[in-house]
Amino acid sequence: MDSLELFEFFVEGKNQNESHVLLHITEPATADEMKKGYFFAIVEMNQCSITQIEHIQQLIDDLESGYYETDEHDLDSDSDAFEMTLEFLNKRSGQILSSNSEVHCIVGVVRDTHISFSYHGSPHAVVFYVQKDGLAQMSALDDKKEEGKQLFSSVLQGQLNPGDYFFVATPHVTDYFSYDRIQKIIQGRKTKDAALHIQKVLKDLREDGSYGGVLIHLIEELARAKTGRAPRQNIGAAASLQHLMQSEKHTRDTLTPPLLSNLKSTIAAIRDSAQTTEDRIQKQKTVEKQAQTSQKYLARGRKRKTHLTTETNYNPRPIQQETLEHQSIFNILLIGTGRALVQGTIGFGKIILWLCFALWRGVVSSIILITNKNNGRKEMTERISRGFHIRKQWITHLSLLSKILFIGILLDIIIFGGSIIYTHIEQQRTTAQNAYQHTIQSIIKKKQNAEANHVYGNDTDAMSLLQKAQSELALLPKSTTNQKNEKNSLTASIARQLHGLQKMKIVSPKLVANLTKINTDAKTTGLATIDNTLIAYGPQDPLLYIVHTLTGLINKKNHANIMGLVANNTPKEQNTTVFLGKNNTIGLYDKKTGAVAHGDISFPNNPVNITSLFVYNLHLYTLDTTNNQIYRHARTQTGFEQGTPWITRSGVNLSGATSLAIDGDIYVTKNNGTILKFARGIPQPFTIRGLDPALSNPTEIWTYYDVPDLYILDPATKRVVVLDKSGNLVQQYTSLLWKHPTGMIVDVANNIIYILDSNKVYSFEL
C-alpha cells in the first residue's frame, strides 16, 4: 500500500507574552473526510491580545469544520470547499488585520497528491523534490508579498510526486535551520526522526520565541487514486487509541474558551454592579448555554492535534459583604501590629547599643589586663572584682519572682543572640548555595550553547564556551558527597564534548614488541623503518633493535661505527636508512647485513648543529638550528656532498627547530608548538586551526608528496596530531597505555601508525 507521512514539531518559548504559536492538524476519520484529506494550520502571533488570539483560533476552527462539512457537489465547477470556506473567513478577518499585532499563518489541505494552501505574513513553505542526484528545493510561496484587506488573498495549488517533501513552518525557524540544512536532515533521517531532531534542537536553545511546523512526505503514489480505498495508517491499535484520546482532549481544551468566558463574566460584573440579582442569573444562564453549544460541537469525534503556547484562567473573586463589615477590625489590628513593630524596633536598638557599649568596655579592660598599660592591671582587676560582687549581691537580694524574671530575660538574650548568629550563618549558607546553583546553571547553559554551536558548525565558539565552563567548574566546591558527584559528572560530560570538538580518538594500540625482553638495559628513543622492518635505537644505546613486523621476531645489532644516533630517514626507494649521529655525523644502514657504515658529509658553515634530516628526490636535506639554514646535499658513492644553503631569504629563525618533512615544500616543527613552511627556499604563511590543546613540544613531523596530511608526534601530550596541509585539524590520536612516546612511523600504504614508547613498540590503525 502507498502512504503519506505527516509529522509536526512544536516548541513553546519562554516569553509567552511576546509570541504565541498555534499548530492545528486534522486527520480524517470517516470515509467522507478521507476524501477531503488532511487539514493543517500554523499560526504565529506576536504582540497579540487575548481577544485576538481567541478570535484567530475560532477562525481556524471554523475553517476546519466548514471545509469538512461543505458538500462539494453543491458547489459550481470553479470552486471547491477549501476556497469557499476561505472566502467566508475573509469577511471576518477585519479585526485581526486592523490591529497593530503581527500575524503569520498558513492553512492548507492535502488530498492524495494534491496540496492547496493559502497564507498571510511571512511563513515558510518549501518543496524538496526528487532529482537524479538527490533532492532539490523550491519555495512554494509567491515571490510578491500580498498585503490587502483580506487575511487570505489567494490560494496556491500543486502536486507532490513520490519521494517529495513539503515543509511548512513559522518564520523564525529558519533563524537556526536554513533550507539547505533542513534538506540534509530529511535526506539523512526518517521523516519522523527529522521532525523530532528539529524539535529537539529548537527546544535545547531555550529561546523566548515559539516555533512550529509540519513535514509532509509522499512515499509513493496514493492507493486511493487506483483503488478508491483509504490509505492505511502506520500506527498500532494501542498507539492510535492513545493518540485519539490525547487529540480529543487537546481539542476540547482549545475550543472551550475559559478565558473568554471569564473575561466576559468579569466585565459583566463591573458594568452591572447596580443591576438586580435576577439580571446576573439570566446572564449566567446565557454563558452556560454557550458552553453547552461548544460541547455539542466537540462531539464530532474527529482526531485533532492542537497546541497553543498560552493558557490563562482569570477567576475574579466577588466582593463579600463580610469583608466590608469587618474592615474596621482589620484596620485596628493592622495599626496595632505596626505600633508593636515600631516599639520592638526601638527596644531592639537600645539593646544593641547596650551590647556595643559593654563590648567596648570589655575590649578596653582586656587590653589593660594584657598590656598593664599605665600600671592599670591591678586597678582593673579590682574594678572587675567589685563589679561581679555588686551584681552577685544584687541578684542575691532579689525576690524569687524577680530572680525568675531575671533568669528568663537572660535566657531570652542568649536565645536572641544565638538566633542572630544562626540567622547569619544560615544566610551565608543560603547565599553560598544560591551561588553554587547559579554556577551550575551557568555551566549547564554553556554546555547546551556549545552543543548548539557544534550542531550549526561553529566549533570555534563551541570550544570557547566549553573552556569557560571548565574554568567555572574548577571553582566549584566539593565539600559534600553530592557536590563531588555533581562536579565529577559535569567534568566527564564536558570532557566528552571537548573530545568531540577536538576530534580526539582514544585508541587501544596493539603491542608489537617489548625490547626489554631481549635487553633489560635498552634505552631506545627513535624508530626507523625499511621494507617490512622496524629499527629502534637511542643515543645512549649501542645496539639497534630490528623488529620484523610480519613475523614478530626481534634481532640485535651493534652499531659501533657511529654512536649517538638521534634521527633518521628512509627515502621512498627503500634502499637505505640514513641515521644522524653525534657531532653532525651520518651513518648508512645496509638492509642486507644490518650494519651501519659511516657516511661522508660536510657543511658550508662551521660550527653547525644538525637536529634533523630528510631524503627527498635522491637529495639529503639537513636542518641547522645554529645558522638558521637548511642544506641540500647531493648523493655520492660514500655518502653525500657538501651541502648548499636552500633557504634564500634572511631573517628566518630556526632556533628550537626539532624536525622537518618534505613533499616538495618543507615543513619544520619547533619546540614552541609552531610549524614553519617553506616553498623554494622562501617562507610561506602557515596557521594551525581548530587544534586544542595546542602543540606543546612536537619532536617529529612526517609527510610526502602523495600523502594529503601532516603527521606530528607531540610526546608531552601523548598524542599524534593529523593536520591537512592548510593547517586545519583532521584528527588526534591518544592512548591510555602511552607514557612518553618518542618515536613514530606512519605506514600510509597499510593504514597503520607505529609508536615507540618506553622500549615498547605499539601499532594502531588509522
Q: How confident is the model at residue 17 (pLDDT cuts 50, 70, 90)?
A: low
Instruction: List CB contacts of 744: < 8 A, sequence separation 6 or more.
Output: 527, 700, 702, 711, 713, 720, 753, 754, 755, 756
Does the pLDDT at position 299 exceed 70?
A: no
Q: Please report which helix (H) or strand (E) contains residue 87, including its range.
A: helix 81-90
Does the pLDDT at position 253 exceed 50?
A: no
pLDDT, mean of residues 482-495? 90
Which segments of 299-377 are extended strands (E)? 303-308
Most confident of 268-282, 347-361, 559-573: 559-573
Does the pLDDT at position 215 exceed 50?
A: yes
Residue 273: its pLDDT value, please?
41
| Better pLDDT: 462 or 78 | 462
Does the pLDDT at position 106 exceed 80?
A: yes
pLDDT tens per residue, range 373-413 = 778 888 888 888 887 777 777 777 778 887 788 788 888 88
Instruction: List CB contacts of 399: < 8 A, sequence separation 6 or more.
Output: none
Of the chain, the percentage scoring pLDDT greater than 90 comes to 39
Backbone angles phi, psi at 381, to 5 degrees: -65, -45
> Are 723 and 710 in contact, with CB atoms under 8 Å apart?
yes
> Are 138 and 165 in contact, with CB atoms under 8 Å apart?
no
Residue 291: its pLDDT value, please?
40
> 321 is written with which cell numbers?
459583604
Residue 305: its pLDDT value, please?
42
Does the pLDDT at position 280 exceed 70?
A: no
Q: How far apart are CA 260 and CA 253, in angstroms?
A: 13
Residue 74: its pLDDT value, please?
63
Does the pLDDT at position 556 exceed 50?
A: yes
CA dist 528 to 538, 569, 570, 735, Å?
Answer: 11, 7, 7, 21
Cα 650–674–757 angle (5° rounding)? 125
Does the pLDDT at position 762 exceed 90?
A: yes
Indicate the average pLDDT of the chain: 81
pLDDT, mean of residues 671-689? 96
> Are 38 and 28 in contact, with CB atoms under 8 Å apart?
yes
Instruction: List CB contacts of 144: < 8 A, sequence separation 6 or more.
Output: none
From 29, 34, 37, 41, select the one nearest 108 (Cα to Cα): 41
Residue 642: its pLDDT value, please?
96
- C-alpha torsion 522→506→530→724, nearest 10: -130
> Are 499 and 460 in contact, with CB atoms under 8 Å apart?
no
Residue 45: its pLDDT value, please?
86
Number of H helices, E strands in the chain: 16, 37
Does the pLDDT at position 254 exceed 80?
A: no
> 474 is written with which cell numbers?
574548577
Pairing of strands 156-159, 639-642: unpaired
pLDDT tens per residue, range 68-81 = 888 766 665 556 78
> Are 25 and 6 in contact, with CB atoms under 8 Å apart?
yes
Does the pLDDT at position 271 exceed 80?
A: no
User: For the chain, first and last CA: distance in Å?
Assistant: 46
Cα 233 versus chain centre, distance: 36
The residue whose grid cell reads 614552541 is 672
Instruction: List CB contacts of 173: < 8 A, sequence separation 6 or more.
Output: 124, 198, 202, 211, 213
| Better pLDDT: 93 or 166 | 166
Report the interhelical angle of 237-255 vs 50-69 (nearest 10°). Answer: 130
Q: How confident is the model at residue 187 (pLDDT cuts 50, 70, 90)?
A: confident
Q: Which of 26-35, 194-203, 427-436 has the lowest mean pLDDT?
A: 26-35
Residue 563: its pLDDT value, please?
87
From 727, 244, 754, 368, select the one nearest 535 (Cα to Cα): 754
From 658, 763, 665, select the one nearest 713 (Cα to Cα): 658
Does the pLDDT at position 752 exceed 60?
A: yes
| Better pLDDT: 253 or 646 | 646
Does the pLDDT at position 66 exceed 90?
A: no
pLDDT tens per residue, range 326-350 = 445 767 777 777 777 787 788 778 7
Q: How far apart are CA 701 and CA 745, in angstroms?
A: 10
Residue 248: its pLDDT value, please?
34
pLDDT, mean of residues 446-466? 87
Residue 245: its pLDDT value, please?
32
Residue 220: its pLDDT value, please?
62
Residue 312: its pLDDT value, please?
30
Rg of the Cα atoms in the chain = 42
Does the pLDDT at position 63 exceed 90?
A: no
pLDDT tens per residue, range 693-739 = 999 999 999 999 999 999 999 999 999 999 999 999 999 999 999 99
> Are 472 and 439 in contact, with CB atoms under 8 Å apart?
yes
From 243, 251, 245, select the one nearest 307 (Cα to Cα): 251
Scanning 372-480, the segments in alpha helix (DSSP H) are 377-396, 400-455, 459-474
Q: How far apart are CA 735 and CA 716, in angstroms?
A: 13
Does the pLDDT at position 300 exceed 60?
A: no
Q: Which of 94-103, 352-361, 475-484 has the lowest mean pLDDT?
A: 94-103
> Are 120 and 104 in contact, with CB atoms under 8 Å apart?
yes
Q: Which of 215-224, 478-487, 626-635 has the lowest mean pLDDT?
A: 215-224
pLDDT, mean of residues 38-66? 86
Q: Which of 358-367, 436-445, 504-513 has the lowest mean pLDDT?
A: 358-367
Of the chain, the percentage scoring pLDDT greater than 70 comes to 83
Instruction: List CB contacts of 585: < 8 A, sequence separation 6 or more.
Output: 562, 598, 599, 601
> Are 221 and 24 in contact, with CB atoms under 8 Å apart?
no
Does the pLDDT at position 246 exceed 80?
A: no
> Are 674 and 685 in contact, with CB atoms under 8 Å apart?
no
Does the pLDDT at position 457 exceed 60?
A: yes
User: What three-state secondary structure class fits 254?
Assistant: helix
Instruction: List CB contacts of 630: < 8 A, sequence separation 6 or more.
Output: 621, 622, 623, 624, 645, 646, 647, 654, 660, 666, 668, 678
pLDDT tens per residue, range 405-423 = 878 888 888 898 888 898 8
Q: Which of 304-318, 354-368, 544-558 has the lowest mean pLDDT?
A: 304-318
Q: How far apart are CA 756 and CA 741, in angstroms?
A: 6
Cα 513 versus chain centre, distance: 43
pLDDT, mean of residues 736-752? 95
The residue whose grid cell reads 454557550 is 290
Does the pLDDT at position 296 exceed 90?
A: no
